[in-house]
A and B are shown apart, each in its own frame.
Chain A
Amino acid sequence: MKKAGILMIIGSLLLLGLFKFPLWNIMLGAPQYPDPLGMNIHINGIKGVSEFDLQNIDGLNHYIGMKTIPKPEEMWEFSIFPKVIIGMVVLGVLIGLFGVLGKLSYKWFILWFILMSILGVLGMYDFNAWLTAYGSDLNPNAIMKIMNEDGTPMTYKPPLFGSQKMLNFDVSSLPHTGAYMMFVGMMLTIGAFIIGKKESKKL
């Protein structure tokens, strides 16, 4: 189980990339923004791709009555997510260590993966819920109130994944480096599970 355990450790450590790299990225391009505006979503807050992007996105959004982009202290997620990630890293490393020492079944590896997946789905659900609120909870005194063809007010929820045209902006929303590192890490833990299973059969 030595190989599998090491793989498990590496896989969980890759989650630490989330502290350095963004989880998600949303870019807004328009004819008059040849250099698109963008926000990087980190597990501990939202940052502009360029220094003044958030200020400039807020400046544009005030026309359609959107709230300003939340500061880290304005959303509980940004204090909880880092703790959850640290917890999962510690748990994963411990499982891996015990695996190396042969004191733990390989099934723990997949348990960690399932737990991480559930947390990930919950996180995505929460993220999507925020995007919906952000895009549709509009100031009733907004300067511009745009209606859909059916007469309902237009909302401005950015897509969770992919691209969408919103007024004059092309909005694209995609995972970023942190998410890819997490994804690779999680794949490694599946690998750990498979290898662990094989190794345990050999015994």
Chain B
Amino acid sequence: MKSIIKITIFFVFASFLLTSCGNNGKSGNDGALRSSNAEKVYVAPGEHDEFYAFMSGGYSGNLTVYGLPSGRMFKEIPVFSQFPTSGYGYSEETKPMLNTSFGFVPWDDSHHPDISQTNGELDGRWIFINGNNTPRIARISLKTFETEEIIEVPNSAGNHSSSFITENTEYVVAGTRFAVPVPQKDMPISEYKGNFKGALSFIKVDEETGRMGIKFQILMPGFNYDLSHPGRDKSHGWFFFTTYNTEEANSLLEVNASQNDKDFIAAINWKKIEEYVNNGGGTKMPTNYAHNVYDEHTHTATTTMVKEVLTVNPTEIPGAVYLLPTPKSPHGCDVDPTGEYIIGNGKLSADLTVHSFTKMLDAIENEKFDGDAYGIPILKYEEVLAGSVKSGGLGPLHTEFDDKGNAYTTFFITSEVVKWKVGTWEVLDRKPTYYSVGHLMVPGGNSRKPFGKYVVAMNKITKDRYLPTGPELEHSAQLYDITGDKMELLLDFPTHGEPHYAAGIPASIIKEQSQKIYRLDENKHPYAVTEPGQAKVTRDGNEVHVYMSMIRSHFTPDNIEGVKVGDKVYFHITNHEQDFDVPHGFAMIGANNSELLIMPGQTKTLTWEPKKVGVWPFYCTDFCSALHQEMQGYIRVSPKDSNIDLSWSLDGE
């Protein structure tokens, strides 16, 4: 009898599974086997992908570059983390990039890349990304695909609602996840409520150079500012932030920050605040943060410590900030291409809340308020609500858009992507993800002009999707074709680190501008040697400077004598190649840092502190030519008290 019940339960359960698979999984596994799907992601040898996808590295601290639709990875761009592969963060030139007010911080957690825009469309000049842990924003050139600038964000902690740009790249915006005392001070944690602040930073981007500078910080109530997106087109001039923990709990947040039925989307009229500070508004607060800038011509980064920041109290600027009640701890905050709809992805609910920008303006004008929070007006929920998407899923996180009026939302708990119609809120399609999807990305999906051909789902859980590699697995992305009425799963591909968000752009916009070499005749590095004849070795106390050049397939000089134990040797090495894709490497035995990988025309510096007497080799690490293996040299290290003079040579000369 028992077994009959068991079997019955099993069959009921199995039939339930089968039915739900019938609805959801049809073009999942089966579809991917179809040869037409294989053709859709096949990029023949030697041909190029249609899109670039820049995926954040999450806890790798970096940014990875992929091609779509192939899912091939092209490059890992070091941003917030030391990268021994190239020497980033180890070379003397790039160490300053990782300076902060906490000193040298060699790692971060990179989250949300965003490509620069003009008139709300991707322009492909720069890509920005936030460091979450020690709050920083980086700007990466899309000509060199290298990090050019990192600015620390003071008064912020957990730089998560970042780094999103306004539609003409006027600002890159960074919001704090953790509320903290501003300025920081020694106080009981339990006194958080009402005392901590949430700083939202507006970082001005220079139109020509891309140079960043904090224009102002809005000191908001001590909520947690989760994600943000700019208004665009009609709502250009506004910025929207989701909040959670409006309860202002300081412990066991999973319970205590989930009590309020509604949290808020904060709507910031940044144009109004900009005007206010341009007219002398705001308070200058003493602070200390690092601004690190890499110069492409000196190939060197410098750090400037900034001692002051302009803060703004939002209650002092009438009409600058409003709160839109949004159910259930909203996570993603997304704005559709027309700028009319602001989507709050209430991560603890089944439904998506959509606010209307027009209704919001109307509610503001007619003062349809529902009280205030710390003096900031709360708009009446019903007065701003445009509609809600009854998704049937659980745990909505993020929404992107295509160019046909559709939206795509990820559901973490039910592990799926749901396609719905903007305006009617009708669910059109749903496809499972494998497994537990976080962000998703449509190229240009957060601009006025999305390129609605593919959506990439970035999944948090990989499990059995690939050959197992022990307990630690790469994350898994999935590519869907969204050109038809129904989404079609085309491809799985592993992604490095933990991609949170990604930004995609048609390759045609940026591939022609991708730089091939650095010009040697524009190299302004103070220790560069632009002719092999300038190679030399100098001593200044116990500092030895080696001015070295490299070309296929030798170093000049390759024999150095007169170095002593206790010296600090600086190898300043210039790659004299001016040919595309001919880097040379440099590795020194016993160096306590990394190698250098030096691009044509570039100069990099590695330090080495010889500890042992002897004759020690160095060599090129990049298989540069048929004679790569011969690209090597020796350094003679003599005892500390030795009186051997410095000498250097190549082939006895």
Name the residue on A nearest B630 (C-beta).
A143
Query: Is B578 within 8 A of A52, CB to CB?
Result: yes
B579 close to A (CB within 8 Å): yes
Given A52-B578, A52-B579, are A59 and B551 neighbors across the interface (CB < 8 Å)?
yes
Query: Is B578 within 8 A of A55, CB to CB?
Result: yes
B239, chain A: closest CB distance, angstroms: 45
Across the interface, B578 reaches (CB within 8 A) one of A35, A56, A63, namely: A56
B215 close to A (CB within 8 Å): no
B626 close to A (CB within 8 Å): yes
Task: Give Cα A109 to B473, complex, Å.
Answer: 83
Task: Give Cα A143 to B578, complex, Å.
Answer: 21
Given A52-B579, A55-B578, A56-B578, are A63 and B551 neighbors across the interface (CB < 8 Å)?
no
B651, chain A: closest CB distance, angstroms: 11
B509-545 CB contacts (< 8 Å) to partner A: 517
Contacts of A59 in B (CB 8 A): 551-552, 577, 579
B576, chain A: closest CB distance, angstroms: 9
Task: Give Cα A52 to B551, complex, Å.
Answer: 14
Name the residue on A nearest B578 (C-beta).
A52
A4-58 CB contacts (< 8 Å) to partner B: 35, 51-52, 55-56
Query: Is B626 within 8 A of A63, CB to CB?
Result: yes
Contacts of A52 in B (CB 8 A): 517, 578-579
Task: Give Cα A63 to B552, complex, Å.
Answer: 10
- Residues 54-83 of chain A: 1 if any B CB is under 8 Å from the residue's CB, otherwise 0? 011001000100000000000000000000
Task: Give Cα A38 to B467, complex, Å.
Answer: 47
B44 close to A (CB within 8 Å): no
Task: Give Cα A144 to B578, complex, Å.
Answer: 23
Contacts of B577 in A (CB 8 A): 59
A52, chain B: closest CB distance, angstroms: 4
Across the interface, A143 reaches (CB within 8 A) one of B517, B551, B579, B627, namely: B627
Number of interface residues of A (CB under 8 A): 9
Task: Give Cα A128 to B627, complex, Å.
Answer: 32
Contacts of B551 in A (CB 8 A): 59
Task: Give Cα A99 to B299, complex, Å.
Answer: 65
A2, chain B: closest CB distance, angstroms: 52
Name the residue on B nearest A35 (C-beta).
B580
B623, chain A: closest CB distance, angstroms: 12
Task: Give Cα A51 to B520, complex, Å.
Answer: 12
B574-626 CB contacts (< 8 Å) to partner A: 577-580, 625-626
Q: Considering residues A35, A52, A56, A143, which has the most beta carbons from chain B within 10 angstroms of its beta carbon? A: A52
B575, chain A: closest CB distance, angstroms: 12
Contacts of B625 in A (CB 8 A): 63
A187-201 CB contacts (< 8 Å) to partner B: none
Contacts of A35 in B (CB 8 A): 580
A7, chain B: closest CB distance, angstroms: 45
Contacts of B626 in A (CB 8 A): 63, 144
Name the residue on B nearest A60 (C-beta).
B552
Task: Give Cα A55 to B517, complex, Å.
Answer: 14
A38, chain B: closest CB distance, angstroms: 13
Query: Is B627 within 8 A of A56, CB to CB?
Result: no
A27, chain B: closest CB distance, angstroms: 16
Task: Give Cα A59 to B580, complex, Å.
Answer: 13
B249, chain A: closest CB distance, angstroms: 60
Task: Give Cα A51 to B579, complex, Å.
Answer: 10
- Residues 119-152 of chain A: 1 if any B CB is under 8 Å from the residue's CB, otherwise 0? 0000000000000000000000001100000000
Task: Give Cα A35 to B517, complex, Å.
Answer: 15
Task: Give Cα A129 to B369, complex, Å.
Answer: 92
Contacts of B578 in A (CB 8 A): 51-52, 55-56
Task: Give Cα A35 to B577, complex, Å.
Answer: 17
Query: Is B627 within 8 A of A63, CB to CB?
Result: yes
Contacts of A55 in B (CB 8 A): 578-579
Contacts of A144 in B (CB 8 A): 626
A63, chain B: closest CB distance, angstroms: 7
A24, chain B: closest CB distance, angstroms: 23
B620, chain A: closest CB distance, angstroms: 15
Contacts of B580 in A (CB 8 A): 35
Task: Give Cα A30 to B328, complex, Å.
Answer: 62
A39, chain B: closest CB distance, angstroms: 15
Task: Give Cα A63 to B551, complex, Å.
Answer: 13
List 9 additional contacts besides A35-B580, A59-B552, A143-B627; criterion CB under 8 Å.
A51-B578, A52-B579, A55-B578, A55-B579, A56-B578, A56-B579, A59-B577, A63-B625, A144-B626
Query: Which 6 pairs from chain A and chain B are nearest by CB?
Result: A52-B578, A56-B579, A55-B578, A59-B552, A52-B579, A143-B627
Interface residues in chain A, defined as those with a beta carbon under 8 Å from any beta carbon in chain B: 35, 51-52, 55-56, 59, 63, 143-144
| 7 A-B residue pairs with CB within 8 Å | A52-B578, A52-B579, A56-B579, A59-B551, A59-B577, A63-B626, A144-B626
